[in-house]
Structure 1
């Protein structure tokens, strides 16, 4: 059996049955009927023929062998770390964690949410601030978001942002990318040279420790910044904060950084969980996701996403950030690293790291080598006039990579994996012997406050306890390893084990993003091949995999358009047309790229209103920069007017951005780069099988036609005019083997078959449910694309049963709900994907039909509107086994509705959660155990 046959759920007989149900003889006939001929492509993808799983693993082994795993002592925010085996096996390699979706349905996400609350508590404790979010994309992104947060929250009218010259260079590159379109003036200040700060500025960014390793006392600078109304961000190393005074203790308003060194592999740059924390008073301005504590229908404590849930979809161009995702899987790993080691264990690791740095500094000084700073944590910068290249080369010969700062300076960073032998080899490279220990001048900055005092950080230090804690949390969640997650727009398909396997190989996991080129040939080959394949699939000329989320792919694409117009002397083109149905991140990204958003109406069928489009083009013809459209549309329809739309925008001098969120309905049948689009971002965590990980990681490559190629993101460490959107040149490179393996095993025929089957399953579900729930939109021949929208509004109007009631009742039937109220309030958007077989599709259809029967019971007055299985859903085991039962329906209907397998029942750990209570009573760190006892 081929891999494609294993990836695609319905076999040939099942497909025949489904095709018959919707009236088509073959997949090709279905696709010919569904896809407008104006964009239909009848060619074959120029990709290698499908390889077997065994052949693919062998090829990836050969590619991985071209990477050279050395001892990295480069630092710059990326460090060697030991991933505890219990965390590696039971989180990173466990589908119960990596195949889960974003916790928008909190009742079936309690395990993940608890782990993220641990993450937030870990960050707030170590930074000394009051509130942290549930992770950011990387350190550079976190710092950039801190800058814009400071701009929003500061009372200063200044557009100047002051940046410590000792900031990590990749972070500085991200700050420059983000600042320029928003009109923010970055001013670098050398704190060592005591350069004067400008007279007025809205924010100050400090690196702690600095990129050079220097640890400085920033208290007076922070006080001076506050005196003139500026907010202060400290980019802090969390491991260092176990020994150094916390940013909050010296007055910082915001702290940002990465949690990579808490057990997360290097991965050639990612994925890693960044962090962002704020002082009291700023929590409601915090971008990204925030886990909070609320209560369920029984009054029991329960976790949920608070405040910013899908902010971009609510506030659109007024959103404070385009970040709609996080790095949940990596944040869970980092939080569990802290849980496993506890405060004493983390401090011990930090001391060991610091002591190795002390030994290096002391021996270098004793050997006549000048050390640039007398206060440091893990990074020692040595001054070796004219010898720096020679020292780095000597260390490389011993298998150790150091950082060449310039011709006269070398930086050496110690980490958790550093040994005495490494230190001795580095000293030998400098031509120095001995093990003298330096007297580090950071003692006045030593931390005296406690951290990680919550019992969770002192309860699971044995592997037995840790293993059971991880199992307990994963059992509270619903992921793809349990059943179907039919979320529209999110493509929750199979994440095959063979695709996942290479991620943890040392040759991929243990490569520093700034390792010498001689060590990274395998990665460069993998990236180049994947970019080439993605360009072929989409019909574009070039692809960059640097964006580490779809939101960052959007920003990169819009910045490419902006750069193109400016290169032609048309900087005045700043209007971005966006249909009213678009993903909310589109509008937020456009604003971040310095564009003005103008909304284009949609007609009654959910299509872009072409009359309104032409009117907006005429009105803004001279200012038109771009249009952003999703194709197939956000309503799950192949719009017939897409070619006309592209032509009209091009004629007016604009560029066409096609959001690739729905590419799963196009691969092998239509290519955006050939039907009129200029740029797209793709979602490797949707169409190309990188798992959602509970809300991240993701990769959002940007694909462009030839005239935009020079404006693609560039390496953040390379000088030049290019912009960078991620802190590493290839973004989250560590998970690219997943998509590479998927494409290699599917081949051109398998990819087309997957697309056809995805469209088939959506139309099958629509056909089966249409008589029970209206299907809101359809395209050619009454067909949908890869998803369909079920309209519950008439039922809600007639009975009071809401879309929330149906979503929560689906939990009782053993399903994750479809996408709720997007893009149309009061609806459910269903995307079955190609990976679900007929039995699972029919199980979902049966559940939806049974729920319609329950709604009819409410309509008929058999069950009261406020006391019925839908209004009270989901039902916990505790609820249905309670001594008292006062509801007008039996316990069996509550807990074991029609069609549910009693031997494999999923029980949600909590009842329906009160979201409003959680927002009014904001608690975003671990509650005390007593809260659960009460």
Structure 2
């Protein structure tokens, strides 16, 4: 008799538990899926698939599941413990006003936040255009021709720039890196951490006194500086280049509407943060950093680069360019370990610029600068010494013996200022600042009759001619034609309609876990009590944030079986890096200076190898056996050959091949016996939660992807959060605070703020709280059910490449098309593009095995949607058989000509060997609900040969 899968019990009669909302298959649907697989119950399936020796002995000891209403009330209670002040702390983080049309229709719209990274560009044209707008915005304001589609945060972006200067400087690449002492302190800390791991010298110097002696690979300047000073750096930049050094300027993006751009002063690279362009403070993130470079550096530029190409009909189209830089291709030779970005926040910033236009941005900057000048006038008029007489938004004042009193008085008036030193106070003006705020600050400094003094306005402190920008920017029509909210609303809708996201369709990407991001999980992140908190606000003002973060860390520790967790890493790649740094520092602390070899299976995620290199390790690849497991003989040989130098092994579990390797404990024991540590990549944690804990079956450290397993949405390519979880002996080496404000952990900071992208943590907290231990376990079991159901239904049409016990898979399966490709010429890419015609995002293409598709259905997809996908794949197989039968050649087939645009289908010159109906409506259900891609298959090679990475002119579309 078939047993009904266990469900999380409803809290009251008639109330549906949240777990039942999150999990797709129910009742008879689950039973039908189990019958297809030949199992009497869900537990029997799980017991067969998951090796017994890794199974956890007891259920997850988490608080009982809460309803959506209860969790939202809990979040309200936590938010109320945060004290919302006017934030004038600055240091790279500024309050801003997010236009409601952008807040509602991007940040809070699932059409934007549930989309995946635009690796399938034909169904990503909307967000690719928005990211191209971002690149154009950055390139124009920095006066450098090539900008990427965002990085993770400003501090790590500067670190990436430092590495880029070392790679790009052929003559002096081995020289030291010099950071100006006026660079933000959190940035200096992150760069020093990178340098220590990689073994190169960093010197911090006051560059107003000139360059230090010795070979210099590059210098980093801040504009405006940490103390607010604005300088004409052109002479210093020229001197650095005379010495053979490259130059990076970390520039405030809004200030560049008034200040001479880094490119115009001679800089090679500009980096910074676009947070103040409409993105909330979010207690430190997520925020989109930027990087722009001069020509010649584009192939070494870290992160993603959107380029312009064309489709088969010659229509202009966007895509990710220069993908040879990607980690899964170049591995340890990659230019960076970054595999994600901050796409959602970059899109928000770009739309802020579209909304305001160049004149609007400049007006905001001028208003900020005027308030800062007024404050400077009033303070200096009261006899208070200022640190600089040239500034944009930040005034730093010296008040010997009174800094604490001034800050306390300002806090009492509802304003947070920065304590910049024992006798120094920093005040940063922003878009939200009013005359009343300036008067309150002046009064906190003890200025008599402050309101009247402020009302008189500024007297002096104008920017000198040498730093005033005279060039144009944002001249493209997109920044100059949208004047009304009606236009803005329709532009956002037009772009989102061009894309496929989870609000339209299943996204069956293997290894990327594209599942439900519930509205209840998302709702709280834009509440001001969470979103309006500065990351450097006093601890007594952020109690709610700290309680939520500590509780989430504790719950993740329970789930993973580790002793400690840090939420600082703001991407999975950063979590890998942080975990490997912890291993490295542990070995150093225990006399293991020579332990620098990291074993990595050939099937591992590409970022694993790149992260190991960044952490100062040498990568040794372990072969993969024919059945997809780690080759045991090769592993033994590599351990033996590197026994005295072995630092770690990085394994993904379940494996990247979608299988629970039965020998994982044995592998861990072998590494430990040789003195190494075990890093278990937690990218596939969706197959473990509630069933097995990596911290209990041999792992020393894991990173998790909150944007996968724990429901933070992918955002079209970010935000992400990659917490690192460690065993007790590694807890001291978790990432420390880059500002030095807390000293609980000794590890190297990997981000500018202690809690990284804190702003999205309420999403995962709400998910775990609403699911409870039983609900999370049921989610994992159903992830196994859906994956095995898809594998079983499709195996006769597309063989499943790797399986485990009794032919089962874990939470994903790899469909092997290679034999079919050999027979028909139809490639896995052809299948991926044809799926677009059925309204589906493709599975993961060509990873981890070329010529395959990796499918992960997730627990959130219902049986109807699973069958719709399966039917599409079976129909595609029939079209492959048509090629095999000679009905048409592969070049003439709907597969090679996919995807089909509406324009192609209605073209009166249609002369293809298949009908329009087969092209557009291959299954009957599409006749009513049909997605037409805006462009046909894109010519990637053309785009790489003719690199364009900023907004093309309107004439280009006409052409």
Range of TM-score over shorter length: over 0.9
Which residue is 1:535 aligned to?
Answer: 557
Equivalent position to 1:920, from 926, 945, 949: 945
- What does residue 601 of structure 2 align with? 579
Give distance in 2, aligned partners of 1:505 and 1:229: 49
Q: Secondary structure at the match of 1:38?
A: helix
**2:132 counterpart (87, 110, 117):** 117
2-side partners of 1:709 and 1:675: how far apart? Answer: 18
Q: 1:752 aligns with which of 774, 777, 783?
A: 777
Match of 2:3 in 1: none
Cα pair 2:101 2:485 within 8 Å, conserved: yes
Indicate if the aligned counterparts of 2:838 and 2:926 stay in contact, CA closer than 8 A. no
Asked whether 1:442 is paired with 2:457, we answer no
CA deviation vs aligned residue, 1:381-413 (integer Å, no higher than 9, x gap):
001111111101110100100000112110000
> For 1:408-453, what per-residue CA distance to the aligned partner results, in whole angstroms no more than 9, with x for missing partners?
1100000000000100000000111212514225222100000000
Instruction: Choose which of 99, 102, 110 in structure 2 pairs with 1:84.
Output: 99
2:716 partner SS: coil
Match of 1:637 in 2: 659
Aligned positions of 1:870-889 closer than 5 A: 870-889=895-914
After superposition, what is the alpha-carbon deviation per residue over 1:518-546, rounded to whole angstroms, capped at 9, x for unaligned?
Answer: 11000000000000000000000000000
Q: 1:339 aligns with which of 347, 354, 364?
A: 354
Counterpart in the other structure of 1:57? 72
Match of 1:9 in 2: 24
- Cα distance change of structure 1 residues 886 and 922 upon mapping to structure 2, 3 Å threshold: same
Q: Does 1:552 align with 2:577?
A: no
What SS is found at the alignment partner of 2:52?
coil
Question: Which string of whole-angstrom CA distances, capped at 9 and with x for unpartnered residues, describes residues 12-50 of structure 1?
Answer: 211111011001111111111001111012311110111
Distance in 1, matches of 2:673 and 2:917, equals 63
Structure 1 residue aligned with 2:189, among 168, 173, 176?
A: 173
State how far apart, in whole Å, the 1-side matches of 2:890 and 2:183 are.
59
1:461 CA drift (Å): 2.3
In structure 1, the residue matched to 2:480 is 458
Q: 1:210/1:806 Cα in 2 relative to 1: closer, same or farther (>3 Å)?
A: same
Tell me which residue corresponds to 2:800. Answer: 775
Q: Structure 2: how far apart are the matches of 1:533 and 1:335?
A: 36
1:485 aligns with 2:507: yes
State which of 131, 154, 157 in structure 2 corresponds to 1:142: 157
Q: Does 1:188 pair with 2:204?
A: yes
The equivalent residue for 1:260 is 275
- 2:627 pairs with one of 582, 605, 608: 605
Query: 1:834 matched to which residue of 2?
Result: 859
* Structure 1 position 414 matched with structure 2 position 429: yes
Question: Aligned match of 1:788 in 778, 798, 813?
Answer: 813
Secondary structure class of the residue paired with 2:216? coil
- TM-score normalised per structure 1: 0.99
Distance of aligned partners of 1:383 and 1:801 in 2 relative to their CA distance in 1, 3 Å threshold: same
Contact 1:159 1:183 in 2 (8 A): no
Displacement, 1:195?
A: 5.0
Unaligned runs of 5+ in 1: none
1:904 pairs with 929, 934, 939, which one? 929
* CA deviation after TM superposition for structure 1 residue 308, in Å: 3.2
SS in 2 for 1:137: coil
Q: How does 1:836-851 map to 2 (within 5 A)?
A: 836-851=861-876
Over the residues paired in the alignment, what is the CA RMSD in angstroms?
A: 0.9
List aligned pairs for 1:210-609, cutoff 5 A. 210-308=225-323, 311-432=326-447, 433=450, 434-435=453-454, 436-440=457-461, 442-444=463-465, 445-609=467-631
> Displacement of 1:159 after TM fit?
3.1
2:927 match: secondary structure: coil
Deviations 1:59-85 (A, max 9, x none): 110001000110010000000000000
* CA distance in 2 between partners of 1:634 and 1:27 (Å): 24
Q: Tell me the SS of whatever aligns to 1:202.
A: strand
> Could you list the runs of 5+ residues in structure 2 that have no partner in the other structure?
1-15
1:618 aligns with 2:618: no
SS of the residue corresponding to residue 281 of structure 1 reads coil
Match of 1:682 among 704, 729, 749: 704
CA contact (8 A) 1:847 1:899 kept: no
CA displacement at 1:773 relative to structure 2 = 0.7
Q: Which residue of 2 aligns with 1:164?
A: 180
CA distance in 1, matches of 2:83, 2:677: 42
**Which residue pairs with 1:73 in the alignment?**
88
C-alpha offsets along residues 792-845 of structure 1, whole Å, 9 cap, x if unaligned? 000100010011100000000110000000000000000000000000000000
Alignment partners' CA distance in 2, 1:610 and 1:726:
37
Q: Supply the distance in 1 between the matched residues of 2:139 and 2:548 (Cα, whole angstroms).
A: 38
User: Is it true that 1:672 corresponds to 2:689 in the alignment?
Assistant: no
Query: Is contact 1:288-1:308 (8 Å) kept?
Result: no
Task: Answer yes or no: is the 8 Å Cα contact 2:146–2:294 preserved in 1.
Answer: yes
What is the Cα deviation at residue 786 of structure 1? 0.1
CA contact (8 A) 1:86 1:463 kept: yes
Distance in 1 of aligned mates of 2:293 and 2:924? 48
Paired residues of 1:814 and 1:900 also in contact (CA < 8 A): no
Task: Describe the SS at the equivalent of 2:773.
Answer: helix
Question: Does the alignment pair 1:203 with 2:228?
Answer: no
**Whole-angstrom CA distance in 1 between matches of 2:484 and 2:250:** 32
Q: Is the 8 A contact 2:210 2:236 kept in 1?
A: no
Cα displacement (A) at 1:902: 1.4
| CA 1:899–1:534: 2 relative to 1, 3 Å | farther
Displacement over 4 Å in runs of 4+: none
- Residue deviations 1:886-910 (CA, integer Å, cap 9, x gap): 1010001001112442121000000
Shift of 1:141: 1.2
CA distance in 1, matches of 2:156, 2:358: 27
Q: SS of the residue aligned with 1:492?
A: coil
Where does residue 806 of structure 1 map in the other structure? Answer: 831
- State the secondary structure of the residue aligned to 1:129: coil
C-alpha displacement at 1:153, in angstroms?
0.4
Distance in 2 between residues matched to 1:331 and 1:251, nearest whole Å: 26
C-alpha contact (below 8 Å) 2:386/2:396 kept by paired residues: yes
Per-residue displacement from partner, 1:175-207 (whole Å, max 9, x unpaired)?
A: 011111111211111134x15422310001000
Q: For the residues of structure 1 that align with 2:52 and 2:255, how far apart are their CA atoms?
A: 60
Q: Could you list the per-position Cα deviations for residues 551-578 of structure 1 after superposition, in whole angstroms to 9, with x for gaps in the alignment? A: 0000000000000000001111000000
- Who is 2:846 aligned against? 821
Secondary structure of the 1:303 match is strand
